[in-house]
Structure 1
Amino acid sequence: MSDTLQSVQQALRILDSLQTRSELGITDVAKELGCAMSTAHRLISTLAEAGYVQRVTTGKKYRLGPAMLGANDASAIEHCIEKAQPHMESLRDVSGETVQLAVLHKASIRFVAGVESRNIMRVTSRVGTLMPANATASGKLLLSLRDEAELASLYADGLPAALTTAGTTSMERFVAEVRRVREQGFGQSINEVEPGVAALAVAVKRPKGRTLCALTVSGPSSRFGADERPGNPYGQTHLEELRAHADRISAELTF
């Protein structure tokens, strides 16, 4: 096997690992590949230069980069992550809950940045994870920007299996909910991803007004004051703070 082919295979193994693990350090990579630290560092550096991975702001580990995030404008996402970090930390401190950024990737969303709640009972960060858009607050928010013909095409084979009993496989109900999200300007998920977990999401917009990604806050539904009445706004304080912080992030984006 040529050295080039071996390097490509090793790089792909790193990217595969980051699909299921939110972060990897050089030591983690060397151990997983069974290679020298210098080789792991070279591979990570090469992937970082191409935008496939990026260094975590607060440490020496790496996560999936903008080139792997399914965004139409990788540079804009990377710029947004950088600008959003202090605002996400502020929102985490104000709400007490986990805060994340998500982008739409076909019929899924991928979390691209996150700040975990400090509470013992919390939603863990899912940076790098793909989740069905129709079940998540951020996914519903981002899908609400699509017209109904696009939704019909995206879900031509029907909605995926529900993750919990609170989810729906009815396209009619889903389209009705997307319409509500479009009218209300925020997405919500109650027990649809995991029982006992609630989330809210609003848009982060680029300077000309086009939505770039979704800012979401999530935690135990009991702390959101959530109930299961369809379309019922909940966690009003969380929603107000979420909108305020999304506006602050949007105001700092330059492209």
Structure 2
Amino acid sequence: MPDLLQEGIGFSVVKNRPAYAITSVDSALLLASLLQQEGAMRVTDVAARLGVSVSTAHRLLGMLVYRDFAEQLPDRRYAPGPVLRRGAQQQASVTTLREVALPHLRRLVDAVGETANAMVLAGSDVRFVATVECDQILRVGDRTGRTLPAHLSSGGKAVLATLDDAQLAASFEPLDAATAARLDRELRTIRRRGFAVNDQETEAGLTAVGVAVPPAGGFTGAALSLAAPSARYSRGRLPVWASALAEAAGAIARDLSEGPSGEGKT
């Protein structure tokens, strides 16, 4: 079962990993997502983020350039190409969020002992922009670059609970009447208690708790989550998790307000 643990326990009920995954294709698609989310990257940065050699990173970038998913800048960095620029969102802000959030995610993992994530709302989905894995053998894996339906994920629901009725309309539109009614009731509960729970709604065997990051530094729609194997989760852990998440979210908001010089402060 090592492959299962590497990717995160269970199989997604929303989007299954192919039985015969093609590693090079997966790496290229993840790289395209990173370029779209975070903007220009150096070859060495790409190699580090994907966990591949510099030569492999160079070949992946070369193929993305060939297909217009990337382009090389005069300073030799690689930026999103014409295809990705059609849907590029908040590149500078997402990069800043990731850089600011990472130290706080590490502290969350140290304090709670489970995997921590940062994500942003992207239409009716949330996109994971940073993950810090815990060191337990059975753990939730790295979600960076992936998306989940906002109305099912803990961080997505936490962000949706901060929106007004007009902003929520787009997220409710694709849902059937029963699902929309259930979500509306759940959002009222989330607003009251300040956190959201995803108990195996997106992946069998996975439970997550999420909170919204307060708007700061011109950035909105961000959230944090702690994710664990459901077998290790209990309602008794909720107060500790919710408190730790709220503290981290507040610290990230303060750092975003202060700008780059405030990164990592608590």
Same fold (TM over 0.5): yes
Cα contact 2:121–2:221 (8 A) shared by 1:
no
- Equivalent position SS for 1:127: coil
Of stretches 149-158 and 92-101 in structure 1, the one that deviates more from structure 2 is: 149-158
Which string of whole-angstrom CA distances, capped at 9 and with x for unpartnered residues, describes residues 163-210 of structure 1? xxxxx9621111111221122221211111112211111122344797
- CA pair 200-95 structure 1, distance change in 2 beyond 3 A: same
Sequence identity, in percent? 28
Query: Size of the alignment, in residue pairs?
Result: 210
- Aligned twin of 2:189: 180
- Counterparts in 2 of 1:69-88, with a 5 A limit? 71=89, 73-88=90-105
The answer to whether structure 1 residue 16 and structure 2 residue 16 are counterparts is no
- RMSD of aligned Cα (Å): 3.6
* Residue 83 (structure 1) shift: 1.8
Matched letter for residue 50 of structure 2: E
Cα contact 1:109–1:133 (8 A) shared by 2:
yes
Cα contact 2:124–2:170 (8 A) shared by 1:
no
Matched letter for residue 151 of structure 1: L
Matched letter for residue 93 of structure 2: A
Which string of whole-angstrom CA distances, capped at 9 and with x for unpartnered residues, describes residues 143-178 of structure 1? 11223344333332325xxxxxxxx96211111112
Cα contact 2:61–2:78 (8 A) shared by 1:
no
* Residue 212 (structure 1) shift: 4.4
- Aligned twin of 1:216: 225
Cα contact 1:103–1:214 (8 A) shared by 2:
yes
- Counterparts in 2 of 1:40-189, with a 5 A limit? 46=73, 52=80, 71=89, 73-158=90-175, 170-189=179-198
Aligned equivalents of 1:115, 1:44: Cα separation in 2 = 29
TM-score by length of 1: 0.68
TM-score by length of 2: 0.66
Q: RCO greater where, 1 or 2, for CA within 8 Å and sep 6 or more?
A: 2
Q: Which runs of 5+ in 1 are unaligned?
A: 1-12, 54-64, 160-167, 227-232
Of stretches 207-216 and 91-100 in structure 1, the one that deviates more from structure 2 is: 207-216
- Aligned twin of 1:198: 207
* Residue 222 (structure 1) shift: 3.0
Which string of whole-angstrom CA distances, capped at 9 and with x for unpartnered residues, describes residues 218-245 of structure 1? 111232304xxxxxx8521111111112
- CA pair 170-209 structure 1, distance change in 2 beyond 3 A: same
* Residue 102 (structure 1) shift: 0.3
Aligned equivalents of 2:59, 2:78: Cα separation in 1 = 23
Aligned equivalents of 2:151, 2:171: Cα separation in 1 = 11
The answer to whether structure 1 residue 248 and structure 2 residue 251 are counterparts is yes
Of stretches 176-185 and 150-159 in structure 1, the one that deviates more from structure 2 is: 150-159
* Residue 141 (structure 1) shift: 0.9
Which string of whole-angstrom CA distances, capped at 9 and with x for unpartnered residues, describes residues 62-105 of structure 1? xxx9x89964x432332222122111111111111111100011
Aligned equivalents of 1:114, 1:249: Cα separation in 2 = 15
- Equivalent position SS for 1:135: coil
